[in-house]
Amino acid sequence: MYQLALYGKGGIGKSTMAANISVALAKKGLKVMQVGCDPKHDSTRLLLEGKAQPTVLDYVRNTPIGKRKLEDLIMTGTEGVLCTESGGPEPGIGCAGRGILTTFDTLKKLGADELDVDVKIYDVLGDVVCGGFAVPLRGEYADGIVLVTSGEFMAMYAANNIMKGLGNFDTGSPRLIGIILNSRGVEGEQELVERFAEATGTEVIAVMPRDRLFAEAEGNGHTVREMFPDSKISESIDRIAQRIIDVSEGKAQCVYPHPLDDGQLSDLAAGREIRPPSGNADTRDPCGGCRKCKRSIRDSRIMMSCAAYGALAAYMKLNDYAVVLHGPESCLYFMDTSRSKAIVELYGRDIFDQPPTHKLRCTMMDDAVSIFGGVKYLEKALRDSIADGNTRIAVITTCMPGIIGDDCISVIDRIMKENPGIDIQYIPADGDIAGEYTDGFMMAASNLVHSIDLDVRPEKGYVNLIATSFYDLHTKKHLEELNRMFGNFGLKVNCRFLDETTYDSIVNFCRGSMDMLLNDTANNRELYDMIALRTGRELFPVALPVGLYDYEEWLDRVGKEMGMEEEAEQEMRRIEAVYDAFIKEHRPRFEGKSVIILNKLSFNIDWLIDMLLDLGMNIMKVAVQVSSRKKRTEFVSRHLDIIQQDYDSEMFKNDLKGMRPDLIISDIARPDDGIRFARVGKIGFGVTPSFEYIEYVENIMRIPVEEGWKRGGMS
């Protein structure tokens, strides 16, 4: 079977050409099938005596999978030509390009590829350049391409774009048969189109005059080839049909097009001599279509998770908010499963007294919804959520509603007007279109920041904790340490922004007299910048401390803020004595030993550097290996003078060979090189967790190097 795709600008006459060519081929004894790929579904009308046929997309929408039959989608027209139409969604709703993909998939599953057909013609809209309408350009669907154009600039512009698209789907063999000029009566039209054909490396294979016979035949629901078989138009159509046959039999050749750049198109339109291309305009794959070589992606902006997931994670931290995820079930599965796995792990370690409960719904968008629009599903999900008694709801969109253009705002506005007292926050995260996880989290946080009541007055002794992740406070041990630190000054936590909390806690954020970062990271500072912009408040200058020196600075600052300098000094003397005793006891195991610290610096490790120096270790290198999957962020450290930034894996390998340290400490995967390895991560707050970590490293140091199976990460 030979497959032909006719492309052209909307309204240029390609459906008329396709129907006439189908009849001409059929009259030459070939079995022909014509597939209309235009949402207005009028491609086969002239083959069916002016009648419109049911479309594949309407059929898919209304017929269950188990009851679908190929014969319901195909009608037999003039000269036995088999006819089918893709159709499309309602204007302004859904994605017609996705509809083309669904049409092809549906026809294939129902057995269209097994039909007894010699030639299959796809009639495709050409001034839309999305992937859906480009499907017929792919090698498995089109052996040859014919472009239909007039002498009008936009028609040739569309034809030029199709040539570019053809290059993106190169099969290793040329596929452009040529151009059909469907005249519009523009002065100098034929000469202009022939110049365009020559400049792009192809030819005009037929010129269709602007003739009343077309209107007369179409008025009667027939093709010119059928009603006026002896006309000159029919002769030209027969020549096109024969050219297609010759190409299919190898008697005529196709070409690789050379589409024009913008400057060349301007020259063509102005009647000037067409300048040389500004770059390599040859769309042919330099490898001749070979796909044997592997191509690697070196883009440093690869995302591990999308913005929709980040927004979902933010709202799932509010126990009194319901979330409607507007997207496919697969998105819900991956997002909720990822989160559930983390929570299950935490529950397994007996961290929470009982798991928090959340109210999460998904609109379960599928292929049909992506074509026909999903606002009705969103409306139903919102009404169901309200019926369950939820008064605060967050709507988070994924890629699909963003791509197809669902008007979510109108639905939300209507629901809120119909239900006074219901608050619905909208986060158009649109999956990875809006960015990565952190971008979506910040979008959600920005919404919540605007819920803060600025009239609430601060109360001394209440503290707000700020972070994008509160993992460090999700163990009883860490909570006990924090409560002990705060207990020295009678401090209480007012709001955790953003952790397992409530909407009212966020509303009363300003009740806190101090705002402290949980960790001093770029993301946490970005989060607080939004709070500061909204409230005009200032961040407490020291984050929750880790290690002796940060803890002493924190004690000093809090003591002065609370007017409790004596209590702060008393705690400093106590912890210094404990610290000195610990260092004295453990120094013999570490003194004189060498270490390389390799870190992504997603958290501060100053406490670790301080302790290793106090223990007498030789720190050979502290290096930062920035992940290629994350954007570069500045970090804060008092040891910047000894930290090597932009460190890569090759440098690490070379340093291991040259330095051969006694120990490697890293938050990156352990190298298999016979050197002791200790993993480092977030450890909590205060001084006690740093002691526990050093004891863990000491155990690693005791293990003989050859017993590699005993080496492992910190549990």
In a domain, 277, yes or no: no
Per DSSP, the three-state class of 137 is helix
The pLDDT > 70 percentage for the chain reads 88
Residue 708 is predicted with a pLDDT of 46
Q: Annotate 589-607 with b (16+ C-beta within 10 A) or e (fewer).
A: bbeebebbbbbebbbbbbb
Active site residues: 9, 14, 40, 127
Q: What angle do CA 691, 693, 698 make, to 5 degrees?
A: 95
Query: How far, in Å, CA of 295 to CA of 279, rounded?
Result: 23
Co-location of 18 and 140 in the same domain: yes
Co-location of 265 and 316 in the same domain: no
Would you say residue 126 has pLDDT above 90? no
Most confident of the following: 16-30, 281-295, 396-410: 16-30
In a domain, 606, yes or no: yes
What's the rounded mean pLDDT across residues 473-495? 90
In a domain, 300, yes or no: no
Band of the pLDDT at 602, cuts 50, 70, 90?
A: low
Most confident of the following: 152-166, 582-596, 621-635, 669-683: 582-596
Co-location of 445 and 468 in the same domain: no
Q: Are 424 and 410 in contact (CB under 8 A)?
A: no
Co-location of 537 and 624 in the same domain: no
In a domain, 259, yes or no: yes
The pLDDT > 90 percentage for the chain reads 63
Q: Are 94 and 370 in contact (CB under 8 A)?
A: yes
Query: How far, in Å, CA of 255 to CA of 355, rounded?
Result: 65
Co-location of 158 and 182 in the same domain: yes
Query: How far, in Å, CA of 227 to CA of 214, rounded?
Result: 10
In a domain, 127, yes or no: yes
In a domain, 278, yes or no: no
Q: Of residues 428 and 286, which shows the higher confidence score?
A: 428
Residue 297 is predicted with a pLDDT of 33
In a domain, 562, yes or no: no
Residue 540 is predicted with a pLDDT of 97
Q: Which of 66-80, 211-225, 243-257, 351-365 has the lowest mean pLDDT?
A: 351-365
Would you say residue 634 has pLDDT above 70? no
Would you say residue 56 has pLDDT above 90? yes
What's the rounded mean pLDDT across residues 635-658? 83
Co-location of 129 and 157 in the same domain: yes
- pTM over the 0.75 mark: no
Query: How far, in Å, CA of 4 to CA of 338, rounded?
Result: 46
Per DSSP, the three-state class of 70 is helix
Q: Of residues 93 and 153, which shows the higher confidence score?
A: 153
Co-location of 518 and 638 in the same domain: no
Which CATH number characterizes residue 646's domain?
A: 3.40.50.1980
Write out the residue range of the structural domain in which residue 608 sits: 584-710
Q: What angle do CA 42, 367, 297 make, to 5 degrees?
A: 110
Would you say residue 280 has pLDDT above 90? no
Would you say residue 710 has pLDDT above 50? no
Would you say residue 622 has pLDDT above 70? yes
Q: Which of 286-295, 305-314, 613-622 has the lowest mean pLDDT?
A: 286-295
Residue 645 is predicted with a pLDDT of 80
Residue 251 is predicted with a pLDDT of 96
Co-location of 91 and 144 in the same domain: yes
Strands (E), 408-545: 423-427, 459-466, 492-497, 512-517
Co-location of 64 and 192 in the same domain: yes
Query: How far, in Å, CA of 338 to CA of 123, rounded?
Result: 44
Condensed to tens digits (0 to 9), the pLDDT of residues 211-241 reads 999 999 999 999 999 999 999 999 999 999 9
Residue 291 is predicted with a pLDDT of 42
Q: In what order do the strands lie in the sheet with 322-326?
A: 359-362, 322-326, 392-397, 423-427
Return mean pLDDT, the chain. 87
Most confident of the following: 301-315, 421-435, 561-575: 561-575
Residue 83 is predicted with a pLDDT of 97
Condensed to tens digits (0 to 9), the pLDDT of residues 506-539 reads 999 999 999 999 988 888 999 999 999 999 999 9
Co-location of 7 and 48 in the same domain: yes
Which CATH number characterizes residue 187's domain?
A: 3.40.50.300
Co-location of 133 and 212 in the same domain: yes
Torsion, Cα 627 628 633 636, to 10 degrees, reads 20
Co-location of 433 and 484 in the same domain: no
> How many domains is the chain built from?
4
Residue 131 is predicted with a pLDDT of 65
In a domain, 549, yes or no: no
Condensed to tens digits (0 to 9), the pLDDT of residues 72-97 reads 999 999 999 999 999 988 777 777 77
